[in-house]
Amino acid sequence: MSIDRRTFIASVGGSAAFALMTPSEKADALEAQMQQRLNEASTQTSGKFPTVADIEAQIEKGPVRSGVGNIFVARRGNVQRLAPMPEKPSLVDFFKLRFMATSNHVLQSANRAMKNGMSEEITLACLLHDVVQELIKVDHGWWGAQLFEPYVPEKTAFAIRYHQALRFYSDPANGYEYPDMYRRIFGEDYKPEPYIEATYRMVRRHKWYLEPRMVTTNDLYAFDPQVHVELEQFLDVIGRRFKQPKEGLGFDGSPVAHMWRSLSRPDAPL
């Protein structure tokens, strides 16, 4: 979850009040605001959502574009030094050392998929569906599928790629309602772009439609800070379904190795 800096400063009484706060007071205030945002996401009723124009008006009010990956931006203060990656990094190493901003969300989604009796392909898709947002957020379904395609079952890559388009189209028969979170993020009058609509129509008729649909159904739209899921719960699924390259992710010469290296070394200047 990201908090707009200006909104945050205004919420504590403006920049003068903010300047007088100690670091721990700032941290507490930030936690309180994040908690409030969690509650809003789950309880917000219609009529209070921004419009597309409201959201576009925010573009020039911050130093960072919305589509930038989490690992490149600090959520509070400055970015921190990252722990070095092992010589031959595994998926588990990336979860522990690089997927800090997305892991809780995907673990909760995969936990829900497992509880709902989803196939291992779908459970794995839920576990991986948003972690590419550490690298880049815009078009994250396509980026995510590309990142994982060499290492996961075809159905899993299909599910990751197309969950992004399907999330804009409700399917009550399969347990998916359009989430309020998207009215908040995209605007209440948002209409998906033509390429998203065309993708939705294609996937809706596809024999594997339920693969990405089940990712959206098991996705968590109101993050629950009380629920904590450990990666250990999914080590068997990863072991059976994820083809870990022996050279390590980033060093196996695959067409996506550079994407893994970029996650390993986001401080490299070029």
Q: Using CB under 5 A, list all residues that contact Fe ion.
A: 130, 219
130/180 with CB nearer Fe ion: 130
Nearer to Fe ion, 120 or 130 (CB): 130
Are the CB atoms for 210 and 92 separated by under 8 Å?
Answer: no
Which of 70, 90, 88, 92 minimizes the C-alpha distance to 79? 70
Distance of closest approach, residue 213 Cβ to Fe ion, in angstroms: 13
Residues 165 and 141: beta-carbon distance below 8 Å: yes
Instruction: Pick the closer one to Fe ion by CB: 98 or 129.
Output: 129
- Per-state percent for the chain, helix, strand, coil, to nearest 5: 55, 0, 45
Q: State the nearest-atom distance from the C-beta of 164 to Fe ion, in Å.
A: 6
Q: Do 199 and 65 touch, CB atoms closer than 8 A?
A: no
Q: In a 3-state reduction of DSSP, which class is residue 136?
A: strand
* Helical residues (DSSP H) of 69-119, grouped into ranges: 91-97, 103-115
CB of residue 102 to Fe ion, shortest distance in Å: 8
Q: Which is nearer to Fe ion, 155 or 245 (CB)?
A: 155
Closest contact distance (angstroms) between CB of 160 and Fe ion is: 9
Q: CA nearest 163: which of 102, 210, 221?
A: 210
Based on CB atoms, which residue is closest to Fe ion, 108 or 264?
Answer: 108
Q: How many residues does the chain have?
A: 270
Shortest CB 53 distance to Fe ion, Å? 24
Tokens of 11: 């919420």
To Fe ion, the closest distance from the beta carbon of 140 in angstroms equals 6
Where is 120: in which H helix or E strand? helix 120-128
- Cβ proximity to Fe ion, 18 vs 142, nearer residue: 142
